[in-house]
Structure 1
Amino acid sequence: MRLFLTSALMIGLATPVSAFDSLEELGEALFFDVNLSKNRTQSCATCHDPENGFVDPRETDVGRAVSLGDDGESLGDRTAPTATYAKFTPDFEQMDKRAWRGGMFWDGRAAGLAGQAGGPPLNPIEMGMPDEASVVARLAEDPDYVAAFKALFGDAVWDNDEAAYDAMTQAIAAFESTDLFSPFDSKYDRFLRGEVELSDDEELGRVLFFSEQFTNCNLCHQVRVSPIAQDETFTNYEYHNIGVPVNGAVRAANGVEGPDLGLLANPDVDSADAGGRYKVPTLRNVAVTGPYMHNGVFEDLRTVMLFYNKYNTLDKARQINPETDKPWAMPEIPQNLAVTELTHGPALDDKRIDALVAFMKTLTDARYEHLLEE
């Protein structure tokens, strides 16, 4: 599948002379290569499907909440986040005693796109390869890879498994850094450029979203100072515990016991204050990349809005999860809740909740807008 080469024509790039004429083109081939998994059934694109917002569209015994591994049996415990706009994620850092930002994965444990790309091939419940040497051996089976690695990294790259594995991750990261992953061409972007108008509901949602008086959305989902910044990624990349409950269906299926510690699972973090925190995800393509939260516990985007709204209302009807018809379940980790952020702003009525959902739909890249109807 020559996705980048086809898209290159659409985004105005020159047509490459050869298959691996650049690091990005090599990375594209690697991104789609199922031979980099133990049973040769799974690639990066399996869980980050470019036709589905770079998330996993496969149905499993627990729906699409988590991904199925290369062995055809293992189920993960966290959902695969979209790879769109991931290149803008800053390096992981602890800003103060109780604040962290950046890094890849839900807990920030990997450094940059290359660090993230190196994780799944070696994860026993994902692509399942036993070690870097085994992955490099698979790479060496392909003469095109051998030639491309030498051309791009030097002949010595094959003398050391670690160097060759690192080269692979760099190539994948280069592909993920192309405009294909972050085109900034959603209806919202076109609105900022004066090319389209928003509907009344979308405009109300936009105003509410950026207003700290009426919502708490932009406390975590705005990184630029200006509310009309044309490169807004709709996340500040910080970590918060918003009280997400356990996904009982996932746990019953994958057999995982004990709480998911969130940021505290990051080996570089040892503060109890980090427990239950997860990185704020981008809202780019959010309307087409459900289910939602780090464990896929909510199916619908409107449910997510109602979940947030429960912190700001005493209305008994608002304390019911519409997907279960039961009261909202307790947080998996009740400590370290982001009380200040969660309780900021008044309760929202249906009109405003629907307007916010309408606005978030405008953050869908043009190539995925057909998924909004599906």
Structure 2
Amino acid sequence: MRPIAISLAIAFLVAVRAAAEFAQPVPDTLEALGERLFFDVNLSVNRTQSCATCHDPEYGFADPRGMASIGDDGESIGDRNAPSAAYAALTPVFHKTAEGLWAGGQFWDGRAPLLEDQAGGPPLNPMEMGMADAAAVVARLNEDVTYQQAFEALFDGGVLADPATGYAAMTQAIAAFERTEVFAPFDSKYDRFLRGEVDLTREEDLGRVLFFSQQFTNCNLCHQLGQSAINPKETFTSYEFHNIGVPENTALRALNGVELCVIDEGLATNPDVEGDPNQRGKFKTPTLRNVAVTAPYMHNGVFEDLRTVVLFYNQFNTPNPKRQINPETGVPFRAPAVSATLATEELTHGPALDDQRVDAIVAFLKTLTDARYEPLLED
């Protein structure tokens, strides 16, 4: 066969394969359209990355690949760990509480007030999906006949003819998918325990009692939404922002090239906060649902193990130098990246924990794992 004929044959096969990939039923609901968009790598500049790349549904909608996600260009590495998208739809809009504290919003600094705003961020972030602008994204949508038909049916006619309205419609659909039960099933062992379907082990139950204790731990000061310890819709976060003394992740910065002297200001970088120095180094309290299977931890992925996180908190309550050692490094936990706004009162609430109680809290946190991810606990 001649080279030209071979080339034509290959082109034909590629075209057939592409047609087969997109020969799918046209999504007839906003949620179904959002699901297709969530997994579509064509919405990134090099067509290699989708929402699901950094929010992997097989790993608690977090990124299991490392401390921070790698961008669509295969090189860019951010300075923050990708938070889980599970239960994110339950996050309230960014606001100030009656107590005068900032709470809610998406991302670690709450800068996206709504879920739709968050969905629109990564495609245009040069270190993530890298698209030039909304028009470039909508152009990709218009390449796909299935999208054309779905958007035409679910939105006002001609929605994809205008970049702004087309992009807004895309984020609306993705947010609709993220609001489905797929992201928030409330079916962990803890949930089944509340419904009387299973029993907790003695260690897990001790951890539960300690977690919700007003006297022996500081866990629920930030990681309890409702007043009741048996709230069936507990998300295990107050959604407030605190500086808990997380140190710089020097290993991550050795990879991404960010200088160690550059401090991540956290909440203070949120445009709505206007650079308030009292908000420096504060980050949104994450949900603890699926926490046991969504390592690494903290806003910068500085800790690998869940037990290390509990020991990190415990260091503030004990003068014993042996209890201030980071087991992952063998040396004391490093100083906070920002010390001026440290939540000293919250961090020092309650007595120091012995190993039995540390292990019990870790055991309880594992019960917050959604049923589909429970096999990951064995790893």
Q: TM-score range by the shorter chain?
A: over 0.9
CA contact (8 A) 1:213 1:345 kept: yes
Is 1:267 the equivalent of 2:271?
yes
Give the alignment partner of residue 79 of structure 2, picking from 63, 77, 83: 77
Give the alignment partner of residue 328 of structure 1, picking from 322, 330, 333: 333
Aligned to 2:361: 356
Give the alignment partner of residue 106 of structure 1, picking from 94, 105, 108: 108
Deviations 1:129-148 (A, max 9, x none): 01110001001100110111
Deviation at 1:156, TM superposition (A): 2.9
CA contact (8 A) 1:98 1:273 kept: no
Deviation at 1:94, TM superposition (A): 2.2
Deviation at 1:114, TM superposition (A): 0.8
Aligned to 2:197: 195
Indicate the percent of aligned positions where both proteins have the same amino acid.
Answer: 67
Aligned to 2:29: 22
Is 1:34 the equivalent of 2:34?
no
**Larger Cα-atom Rg:** 2
Deviation at 1:340, TM superposition (A): 0.9
CA distance in 2 between counterparts of 1:116 and 1:141 reads: 24
Aligned to 1:313: 318
CA distance in 2 between counterparts of 1:193 and 1:96 reads: 33
Q: Secondary structure at 2:151's aligned position in 1?
A: helix
The 5 A counterparts of 1:294-313 are: 294-313=299-318
CA distance in 1 between counterparts of 2:232 and 2:96 reads: 27
CA contact (8 A) 1:263 1:275 kept: yes
How many correspondences in the alignment? 353
The alignment's C-alpha RMSD in Å is 1.2
Aligned to 2:352: 347
CA contact (8 A) 1:103 1:109 kept: yes
CA distance in 2 between counterparts of 1:303 and 1:295 reads: 15
Aligned to 1:253: 255
Q: Secondary structure at 2:84's aligned position in 1?
A: coil
CA distance in 2 between counterparts of 1:255 and 1:194 reads: 51
The 5 A counterparts of 1:82-231 are: 82-95=84-97, 99-231=101-233
CA contact (8 A) 1:187 1:196 kept: yes
Aligned to 2:5: none
CA distance in 2 between counterparts of 1:305 and 1:205 reads: 12
Aligned to 2:374: 369
Letter in 1 for 2:334: A
Give the alignment partner of residue 286 of structure 1, picking from 274, 285, 291: 291
The 5 A counterparts of 1:45-60 are: 45-58=52-65
Deviation at 1:318, TM superposition (A): 0.9
Deviation at 1:180, TM superposition (A): 0.5
Q: Which runs of 5+ in 1 are unaligned?
A: 1-16, 59-63
CA contact (8 A) 1:70 1:126 kept: yes
Deviation at 1:291, TM superposition (A): 0.4
CA distance in 1 between counterparts of 2:301 and 2:249 reads: 7
Deviations 1:211-255 (A, max 9, x none): 010000000000111100000000000000000000001111111
CA distance in 1 between counterparts of 2:271 and 2:78 reads: 19
Letter in 1 for 2:165: A
CA distance in 2 between counterparts of 1:277 and 1:96 reads: 18
Aligned to 2:237: 235
Deviates more, 1:70-79 or 1:147-156: 147-156
Letter in 1 for 2:41: V
Letter in 1 for 2:83: P
Deviation at 1:111, TM superposition (A): 1.9
CA distance in 1 between counterparts of 2:258 and 2:147 reads: 38
Letter in 2 for 1:268: D
CA distance in 1 between counterparts of 2:246 and 2:26 reads: 45
CA distance in 2 between counterparts of 1:33 and 1:88 reads: 24
**What is the TM-score when the length of structure 2 is the normalising length?**
0.92
Q: Secondary structure at 1:108's aligned position in 2?
A: coil
CA distance in 2 between counterparts of 1:277 and 1:368 reads: 30
CA 1:52/1:261 → structure 2, altered by over 3 Å: closer, same or farther?
A: same
CA contact (8 A) 1:98 1:274 kept: no
